[in-house]
Structure 1
Amino acid sequence: MYFNLIITGFKNPRAKTVVARHLAHTPTISLQKALAMVENPPFEYMKDLSVKDLQEQCSQLVKMGILYKVEEVTIQLNESIPTPVPIPQDDEKITIKDLPQESTQHPAIPPPPPTKTFQTVPHILPAEPPAENTLKVRIATVLIAVTLITLFLSLLIIGNRPLKIKTSENFSLVS
């Protein structure tokens, strides 16, 4: 069993805005339309609620001071919809008479021509960092480059100096 919840009035003016905001969450109802609906009750607040959901909603509506009524939904089966025919287990037993026939009431509408769809990729440029950050990065890069060049030059100078070894002719290891 399913129920529809219909709001018939408000005791609390704050409850009107709460209900209007809740109604505006559905994509088909704008906030302006929801506010107009709340100003002119009765209106259908919720559809096809189960018993448990209905009890929860009713307790919340009572706490907010909202007058409501509940209607039971009667499900009517549409007789014009054909019921599906089960397919026999053996494929050999299927005859043309058993297959469902298409209705000839509506003329066949040719399908629309296929359209080419293009997927566009937006060309989003990365956001440029602030000028302070780029200046700091440039200064750091220059300092690192100067340090590396100085280190390289000092290694070249130390490695290429002439060796000054003083040798003495009177030098002996054994005394």
Structure 2
Amino acid sequence: MAFLLTVLLLAAGVLSCTEAQEAYSKLSEPYRKGVNLALQQLNNHSAMKNHFLFFKSLDNSDVDFGYGKSHFYHNFYLKVTKCARGTVNPNPTKCPFRNDRPLLDCVACYNTYNEDIEPDPKPYIHCIHKPSLKPEVKKKRRDHCDGMNHFAGGGVLMAQKSP
């Protein structure tokens, strides 16, 4: 009986990982780039002992300024895996999610030009353990991202008068 329960739990864990990676692959390229930026920062942080992977999207939006310029906002969960930090190309069967750690609630907002993340303004990445996320932190993150949501050159073209 215990063996059967163990097999069922393992199968559920692999299925959960597979579903999460499928959700990641369904993200459009600009949103994947933001998730990758957050994962890179997190997985390179010396305090982290385990590898993290994308778990699911909560909210996202984008503004197209035209001329190849866009602004992206993405709120998503990352989840810790059983693999060590720095694991290269982890797959769901070898790197299952751990269920004994809280999810990380992350926000990534950044501007792009021709789908490449622009260095200025610097992309904003903020991750916090889900139980620690308070309404004032949510507001601060959203306000910061909204402040990045502008394209300084956009008004110049629109301000010109035709002869």
Structure with larger Rg: 1
TM-score category (smaller protein): under 0.3
